[in-house]
Amino acid sequence: MSMAQDVACSFTGEESIKNSKLIYPAATRNQDPILQVLKRFIISDVDTIDDEESPLFLEIASGSGQHLAHFAPNFPGVKFQPTEVDESLLGSITYYATHCPTKNILPPKQVDICTKLSSYGFEENEVDYMYCANMIHISPYECTIGLFENAGNYLKPDALMITYGPYSKDGVITPDSNVQFDASLKARNPSWGLRDIADLIKLAEQNNLTLMDTVEMPANNKTLIWKKN
Ligand SMILES: C[S@@+](CC[C@H](N)C(=O)[O-])C[C@H]1O[C@@H](n2cnc3c(N)ncnc32)[C@H](O)[C@@H]1O
């Protein structure tokens, strides 16, 4: 696998632990390019959080917790809620949340995205932004279905979901490094693999969402911006 490949997550064995926080090299590499995209789409004109008024940014599959730690100080008026299905990662996410200088990262919740978000205390049409990086291709397709169903039900009207990772387009994976990455994912777990943007658009339509923008990212990744109708 090429070092340029944007492989997040512990299955690579790449992560390291400093104190109690995990450091995923891929997350360290991609966090700033993703932040630059978020700056184009997140609207926040206040500089402190207010529990009632602040927009809620819900991250699904937070992994190490690094991404929100990097984003949150740039949007001090936004409430960031990390979530993760893997209980063993909650300590690292908590570390990043408690050390955030702007104090706008909430304690993590253990969330399986295949389950309705109401099971975790969220209300329909409550969420201002949903964000999910590098889960769609590194989990069974049921997780992607759950992600879009929950976005359709729990985002506010006109609110955005932002997904980041590698995708195939019109049935074609490019370049070769992504073809190899897809094969390595499927060898690891046959239910994993790059998803096609056309399939995601159909899934989005079934859940009252529209693909609003596609941003090309380093290392052959894309950030997709979905809008709730
Ligand atoms: C490759 S890691 C990405 C972590 C982080 N978002 C990043 O980009 O560094 C994929 C994450 O998806 C999470 N995941 C897998 N299945 C999930 C599910 N059903 N619900 C929520 N998260 C899930 C895994 O636990 C893992 O932390």
pLDDT at position 14: 58
Mean pLDDT of 28-34: 98
pLDDT-derived band at 12, boundaries 50, 70, 90 = very low
What is the DSSP code (8-state) at residue 225? E
Among residues of the chain, what percentage have pLDDT more than 90?
Answer: 86
pLDDT exceeds 80 at position 183: yes
Q: What is the pairing mode between strands 79-81 and 56-60?
A: parallel
pLDDT exceeds 70 at position 15: no
Token code pair at residue 118 = 């109401």
Q: How far apart are CA 218 and CA 139, in angstroms?
A: 22
Separation of CA 216 and ligand 1 centre (Å) = 22
Q: How far apart are CA 222 and CA 74, in angstroms?
A: 21
10-228 is classed CATH 3.10.180.10 = no
Residue 35: is it exposed, middle or buried by C-beta count within 10 angstroms (0-12/13-18/19+)?
middle
Separation of CA 165 and ligand 1 centre (Å) = 12
pLDDT at position 53: 85
Name which residue sits closest to atom 24 of ligand 1, judged by CA.
61
Contact (Cβ atoms closer than 8 angstroms) between residue 44 and residue 75: yes
Q: How far apart are CA 119 and CA 198, in angstroms?
A: 30
Name which residue sits closest to atom 14 of ligand 1, judged by CA.
61
24 lines ligand 1 (CB under 6 A): yes
Mean pLDDT, rounded, of the chain: 93
pLDDT-derived band at 169, boundaries 50, 70, 90 = very high
59 lines ligand 1 (CB under 6 A): no
Contact (Cβ atoms closer than 8 angstroms) between residue 7 and residue 13: no
9 lines ligand 1 (CB under 6 A): yes
pLDDT tens, position by position, 100-158: 999 999 999 999 999 999 999 999 999 999 999 999 999 999 999 999 999 999 999 99
pLDDT at position 3: 33
Answer left, alpha or beta for residue 102, where phi above 0 means left and psi between -120 and 50 means alpha.
alpha
pLDDT-derived band at 47, boundaries 50, 70, 90 = confident
As beta bridge partners, residue 135 has none
Separation of CA 79 and ligand 1 centre (Å) = 20
Q: Indicate the pTM of the whole model.
A: 0.94
pLDDT-derived band at 19, boundaries 50, 70, 90 = low
85 lines ligand 1 (CB under 6 A): yes
**What residues does each domain of the chain span?**
10-228
pLDDT at position 8: 47
pLDDT exceeds 60 at position 13: no
Sign of dihedral through CA atoms 49, 34, 70, 226? positive
pLDDT at position 46: 76
pLDDT at position 2: 34
Contact (Cβ atoms closer than 8 angstroms) between residue 82 and residue 97: yes
pLDDT at position 144: 99
Atom of ligand 1 nearest to the CA of 24: 9
